[in-house]
């Protein structure tokens, strides 16, 4: 096997001119390679959060020092998933404990001492497991695991399990876990594999991780995010439901003071994503997420939903008792985003009516009129005429009485009003039932 991993001129992809231009000083190259081998021999030792330590204690594994391989023939077999070639290159009894130093990549200038710089290829160390797991080469991955490849080796700062989750390869994720991969391994930048399940295609990877002991409330090192934060921010409804079933905490805050609900509401949303985020927030609220939690800038989910002009989400938060009078550190209430709501949600008079009726007084200006497209104004003429007439008319005494009662019951409104046995028309009025006009 040692002959297999030596660099042969016949298999190297560079021209002789390129090789000469990238020739390094022999002593420095040996020291450079030695440092790389030593760095790759040590697994990362980030301390996990308390829950992670309790559920999945760190395992000390002793493995032989892996070889550094630069052979292009072997690399080509790995990167193309050539199982037949790999069976020849890794016969029974051979070791798959290798670190790959890929050839090629991005070019960069590197200081070589004495004021000299050399243009060379930027290379990131990896392993055969990383290459095959990240590309979904399941059969090749099986072969490497049968040949004893170390599942938790992380020469480039992440394990093969991180790689399979990033690339959304569920079968490779399952194989690595079955062969002992640490579901709570921490990458160089402080992420566990579950934190990297950040798009819909990673759902099955997340399931496998949780089934093999992934810590559901583990935090990232940089933002202090839980997996639920990641799922909520990315609008991953299925992930959110899965994590809640596994005991994810709905109200944990990250470094910015954001809960998963705050994170979902604050995420900029494209038009096609609005309903998905609405459903996700509804799930979080049903699980007990507090709609009045403020981030470090004292912004509530309502502030954020108004800023993102998610009409249905604004209505949902208001219907569940969100406070319209909370001021952030900039002295702004959700109402300060009303012009943006008018502009982007003008097709939804219902949402605008609910938001406007949550305030006792409004300062309607010409800018409001300009925010509503003419065709939308014509379609909902009666409603918008009632809104714009408030520029010259105070709110009705009936409305002011409603606002006073709503302020008194703030935070309890949706629970108390239905139990008062009021006439239906009054009950609906207090709960801001849609009328189609403002008075």
Q: What is the pLDDT of residues 410-433, one digit of tens each?
A: 767 777 888 888 898 888 888 878
**How far apart are the C-alpha atoms of 281 and 317, rounded to whole Å?**
9
Sequence-ordered list of residues with C-beta below 8 angstroms from that of 208, at least 6 positions apart, any chain: 170, 173, 174, 177
Q: Flag whether pLDDT at 319 surpasses 90.
A: no
Q: Residues 179, 130, 54, CA angle at the centre, nearest 5°?
A: 50
What pLDDT is stored for residue 103 in this prediction? Answer: 61
**How far apart are the C-alpha atoms of 306 and 292, rounded to whole Å?**
14
Q: What is the mean pLDDT of residues 178-196?
A: 96
Provide, rounded to the nearest whole percent, the portion of the chain with pLDDT above 70: 78
- Cβ atoms of residues 148 and 142 within 8 Å: no
The residues that bridge with 111 in the sheet, in sequence order, are: 117
**Burial annotation 359-381 (CB, 10 A radius, 16+ → b, else e):** bbebebeeebeebbeeebeeebe
Domain boundaries, the chain: 1-41+61-110+119-215
Task: Mean pLDDT check: name the lowest of 113-127, 300-314, 425-439.
Answer: 113-127
Give this prediction's pTM. 0.68
Task: Mean pLDDT check: name the lowest of 72-86, 147-161, 333-347.
Answer: 333-347
- The pair of three-digit structure tokens given for residue 406, joined into one six-digit string: 């709503």
**How far apart are the C-alpha atoms of 171 and 216, rounded to whole Å?**
21
Judged on CB neighbours under 10 Å (0-12, 13-18, 19+), 409 is middle
Q: What's the CATH code, domain 1-41+61-110+119-215? A: 1.25.40.20
- Cβ atoms of residues 315 and 274 within 8 Å: no
What pLDDT is stored for residue 65 in this prediction? Answer: 65
Q: Flag whether pLDDT at 158 surpasses 90.
A: yes
Q: What is the mean pLDDT of residues 269-297?
A: 91
CA distances from 106 to 23, 112, 417 (A): 17, 18, 64
Q: CA neighbours within 13 Å on the CB side: how many for 374?
A: 0
Average pLDDT of the chain is 80
Q: Flag whether pLDDT at 121 surpasses 80.
A: no
Judged on CB neighbours under 10 Å (0-12, 13-18, 19+), 156 is buried
**How far apart are the C-alpha atoms of 232 and 249, rounded to whole Å?**
12
């Amino acid at each position: 096997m040692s002959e297999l991993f030596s660099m042969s001129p016949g298999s190297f992809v560079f021209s002789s001119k390129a090789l000469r231009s990238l020739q390094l000083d022999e002593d420095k190259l040996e020291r450079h390679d030695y440092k790389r081998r030593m760095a790759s021999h040590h697994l990362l030792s980030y301390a996990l959060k308390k829950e992670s330590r309790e559920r999945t204690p760190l395992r000390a594994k002793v493995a032989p020092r892996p070889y550094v391989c630069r052979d292009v023939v072997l690399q080509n077999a790995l990167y193309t998933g050539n199982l037949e070639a790999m069976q020849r290159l890794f016969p029974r009894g051979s070791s798959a404990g290798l670190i790959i130093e890929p050839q090629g990549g991005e070019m960069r200038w590197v200081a070589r001492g004495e004021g000299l710089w050399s243009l060379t290829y930027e290379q990131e160390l990896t392993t055969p497991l990383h290459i095959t797991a990240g590309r979904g080469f399941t059969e090749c991955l099986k072969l490497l695991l049968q040949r004893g490849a170390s599942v938790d080796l992380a020469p480039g700062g992440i394990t093969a399990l991180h790689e399979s989750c990033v690339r959304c390869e569920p079968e490779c994720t399952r194989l690595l876990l079955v062969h002992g991969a640490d579901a709570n391994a921490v990458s160089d930048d402080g992420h566990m594999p579950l934190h990297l399940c950040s798009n819909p295609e990673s759902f099955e990877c997340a399931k496998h991780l949780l089934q093999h002991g992934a810590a559901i409330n583990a935090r990232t090192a940089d933002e202090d995010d839980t997996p639920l934060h990641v799922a909520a921010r990315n609008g991953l409804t299925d992930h959110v439901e899965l994590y809640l079933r596994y005991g994810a905490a709905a109200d944990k805050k990250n470094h910015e003071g954001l809960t998963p609900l705050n994170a979902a509401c604050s995420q900029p949303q494209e038009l096609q994503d609005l309903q998905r985020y609405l459903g996700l927030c509804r799930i979080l609220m049903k699980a007990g997420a507090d709609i009045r939690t403020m981030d470090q800038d004292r912004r509530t989910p309502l502030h954020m939903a108004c800023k993102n002009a998610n009409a249905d989400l604004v209505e949902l938060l208001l219907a569940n008792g969100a406070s319209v009078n909370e001021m952030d550190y900039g002295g702004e209430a959700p109402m300060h985003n009303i012009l943006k709501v008018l502009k982007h949600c003008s097709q939804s008079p219902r949402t605008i009516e609910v938001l406007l009726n949550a305030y006792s007084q409004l300062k309607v200006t010409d800018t409001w009129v300009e925010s509503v497209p003419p065709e939308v104004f014509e379609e909902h003429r009666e409603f918008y005429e009632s809104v714009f007439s408030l520029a010259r008319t105070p709110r009705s005494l009936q409305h002011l009485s409603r606002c006073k009662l709503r302020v008194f019951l703030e935070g309890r409104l949706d629970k108390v009003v239905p139990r008062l046995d009021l006439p239906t028309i009054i009950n609906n009025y207090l709960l801001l039932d849609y009328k189609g006009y403002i008075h």
